[in-house]
A = this chain, B = another copy of it.
Amino acid sequence: MQAVGLITEYNPLHNGHLYHLQQAKKLTGADCSVVVMSGNWLQRGEPAILDKWARTQLALEAGADLIVELPVFYATQPAHLFARGGVEILTALGCESLVFGTEHPDLNFEELMTALPKTQAAFKHYNATYATQFNTALQQSTGVSLTQANDMLSFCYYLANQHFGNQLNLLPIKRQVAVHNDAAIRPASDFASGTAIRAAAINAAWAEIQPVVPPQTLAMLQTQRLQTWADFWPYLKYQLMTAAVTQTHQIDQMAEGLEYRMKEVAQAATSFEDLMRRAKSKRYTYTRLQRVATAALLQLTAAEVQTAQAHNYVRVLGFNATGQAYLHQVKKQLTLPLYTKINKALRLHGLALDYRAGRVYEMVNGQSQDLYRRPIMSSGNIG
């Protein structure tokens, strides 16, 4: 059996994702699709609208054969680390290829890559985001600038793949949403951005959502609790107000001095959006600030995130018969530990950060995220 990999968030799973999954199988002729999916906390520094189990269920129903979790210490990171975590897992699982959507699949990513400074440590000297430094270097040497989120992420997949010995065949495809952050669902379109779909779901605008998602997603959005930052805002405010700045200083992605600003604005802010507006400056993008907020909420320190990143794993969330057979096939050659259920040792050590992230999500969502949860086994699929 051969497998194709995908790196996803499914927040929530929509027609663009369905197209991506179908194309991945079609382009590669793979027997099995392996989906690495962020858990309950996402790359743009926000909670998933549906929990990881609901999203795993939707992925299975959309035809994914094996779904594994991208651990929180990679899922809530800038593109280059998010990509690294996902590529490491797919490589460990012996996938042949990685298919991903991008705004400009015709870009010559491999050529662009050669233009980068050899050592990425060169980027650490400035108080700017990785993406900005990246683009500055690229622009200087090639004239190309990756301003679209998925072009940037795609580029990071190439870098990550190189890092892990180019085990994956990288296949960019054209994304089926013109503008990633399109704020509204366009009439008479089969596709819409996750942002637009989430906004419509919060407003219960089901008729708008119906054309752009599989029916299972619509049903899930209508029946499950939907999580947004507003739900976690009281905890974040409490945390920023009570933690000593010396402690907040240790939070992952907290830039020098930002701990004072976050504490000060948290005291005055009346909502999460208000916090972001007050914290915003030229130095920091909203996404960066949201990721810092996520790390603060989950009390993820830079030190523990770095340590955890050196100990990635394969945490299985769900599979069908094909996925199960594939997992059985590769099990013995796996280069990362395989976790299917949580025991006390994992809760305290190996999976501690995901477990913690799940407990916080659970305070709002109300469903156990890790304790007593087993991978979802699907009897069939529609793919």
Contact = CB atoms under 8 A, between A and B. Distances in A.
A244 B304 contact: yes
Given A247-B247, A267-B359, A359-B267, A238 B238 contact: yes
A301 B363 CA distance: 25
Interface string A193-223: 0000000000000000000000000000000
A299 interface: yes
A237, A242, A299 — most chain B CB neighbours (10 Å): A242
A79 to B, nearest CB: 26
A330 interface: no
B301 A242 contact: no
Contacts of A304: 244
Contacts of A237: 363
A117 interface: no
A243 B241 CA distance: 15
Contact of A234 (B242, B247, B356, B363): B363
A360 to B, nearest CB: 6
A284 interface: no
Nearest to A235: B238
A18 interface: no
A contacts with B: majority SS? helix
Contacts of A267: 359
A211 to B, nearest CB: 39
Contacts of A363: 234, 237-238
A298 interface: yes
A360 B241 contact: yes
Interface string A327-359: 000000000000000000000000000001001
A286 B216 CA distance: 50
Contacts of A359: 241-242, 267
Interface of A: 234-235, 237-239, 241-244, 247, 267, 297-299, 301, 304, 356, 359-360, 363
Closest 10 CB pairs of A and B: A242-B299, A241-B359, A235-B238, A242-B356, A243-B299, A238-B363, A242-B360, A242-B298, A267-B359, A238-B360
